[in-house]
Amino acid sequence: MTSLTVVIDADPGTDDAIGILVALGHADLELRGVTTVGGNAAVDVTTDNALRLLSAVDRPVPVFAGCATPLGARERFGHGFLARPHRPGRDREGLGLPPTSRRAEDVSAVDFLIDTFTGEQAANAVLVATGPLTNVASALLRRPDLARSLRRLVVMGGARGQGNVTPSADFNFWADPEAARVVLRAGLPDVVLFPLDATRSAPLTESDCVAIERSGHVGALAADIIRSRMPTRAADGSVPDPATTATVHDALCTAHLVAPVLQASERCEVDVDTSESGRRGTSVMKRASGRDSPGVEVALRARSDILARTIGAATRRMSADGTPTGASSR
């Protein structure tokens, strides 16, 4: 099988990090670059997190720093209203990886996306977007012809039910609803959307972490990152409660490229509320009327067993390469 060229546009972020590891470790994927955006933290932090992760697993994939400010607001990501609420028991600063001397490329994320997804090389390339959609929307606004040449896009965003940052909005769409709307209205030919309901249907357990950990040193790093997403831990903070699970939203988008994690989906017309009301960032999904109507494929349910196996296979392959991780243990 010819490998698929992948670019990940992300705001790492622990779940973004697992998505990046899947892309690095799968034989059928070639990770061409990571573009970063503000989101889970300010863009300088998400960029540094991406660089630390790639250094820890010794992969020389280039990182391109992207937008610090959403399209529809002057406030910077990671500051004030746009700061991610702190969740008890989580590492506020990021992944807990050692510093790296690596730096982002001189090319901006938006320029890199335009270069990669125009021209002949775009034919076999797929974009996975797991942060606010600011970089992707900026590229489309600058080069509207990208709407034809960006043939495949997989997005984590939106929610049919309960949100995670307001009662109805998921973080990615809420952080830049204007950008999400630009992307969803661009008429891209092949968009798959993983909203919160689908990602929450595929939580990973402590036994999944144990299996992933057994795949080697990269698996140990991945398991450590996944466990850091488990909301409740044993009283001493060291041993995860076996009953807890972790939702690893963004990893599903990359796993979807190589494994049948998507259990059920339906074609929908999707819009995003850009009002200044309490519904800002809420996705509005309506089943598309026919095969030819505009729309995106919206995931309804996903398979946690396949997700866990896909992460384990990717980390096993990377561990077999023998490169030690520079990961600190937490």
Q: Which stretch binds ligand RIB (CB under 6 A): 111-119, 164-172, 177-185, 299-307?
A: 164-172
Cβ closest to ligand RIB, residue 249 vs residue 303: 249
- Residue of 9, 170, 176, 197 interacting with ligand RIB (CB under 6 A): 170
- Residue of 116, 130, 315, 325 interacting with Ca ion (CB under 5 A): 130
Cβ closest to Ca ion, residue 13 vs residue 66: 13
Rounded least distance, CB 37 to ligand RIB, Å: 10
Cα 230 from Cα 233, distance rounded (Å): 7
Contact call for residues 280 and 177 (beta carbons, < 8 A): yes
Cβ closest to ligand RIB, residue 51 vs residue 288: 51
Annotated active-site residue 11? The verdict is yes
Contact call for residues 175 and 39 (beta carbons, < 8 A): yes
Kindly compute the dihedral angle of the four CA atoms of residues 23, 24, 27, 29, in this order, to the nearest 10 degrees: 40
The whole-angstrom distance between residue 66's C-alpha and the CA centroid of its chain comes to 15
Q: How many residues bind ligand RIB (CB under 6 A)?
A: 13
Cβ closest to ligand RIB, residue 33 vs residue 131: 131
Q: What letter would DSSP give residue 280? A: T
Place of tokens 């049919």: 160
Stretch 193-212: interaction string toward ligand RIB, x if CB under 6 A: ---x----------------
Cα 133 from Cα 140, distance rounded (Å): 11
- Pairing relation of β-strands 4-10 and 29-36? parallel
261 touches, from Ca ion, ligand RIB, none (C-beta below 5 to 8 Å by class): none
Among residue numbers 89 through 108, which ones bind ligand RIB (CB under 6 A)? none
- Residue of 5, 7, 9, 13 interacting with Ca ion (CB under 5 A): 13
Give the residue from 206, 223, 298, 303 showing the smallest Cα distance to 255: 303
Cα 263 from Cα 107, distance rounded (Å): 38
Query: Can you name the residues that pair with 233 across neighbouring β-strands?
Result: 240
Should residue 130 be labelled a site residue for ligand RIB when binding is judged by CB under 6 A?
A: yes
Whose CB is nearest to ligand RIB? 171
3-state secondary structure of 10: strand
170 touches, from ligand RIB, Ca ion, none (C-beta below 5 to 8 Å by class): ligand RIB
Cα 262 from Cα 296, distance rounded (Å): 14
Among residue numbers 230 through 259, which ones bind ligand RIB (CB under 6 A)? 249-250
Identify the active-site residue in 9, 11, 176, 224: 11
Residues that bind ligand RIB (CB under 6 A): 13, 15-16, 40, 130, 156, 164, 170-172, 196, 249-250
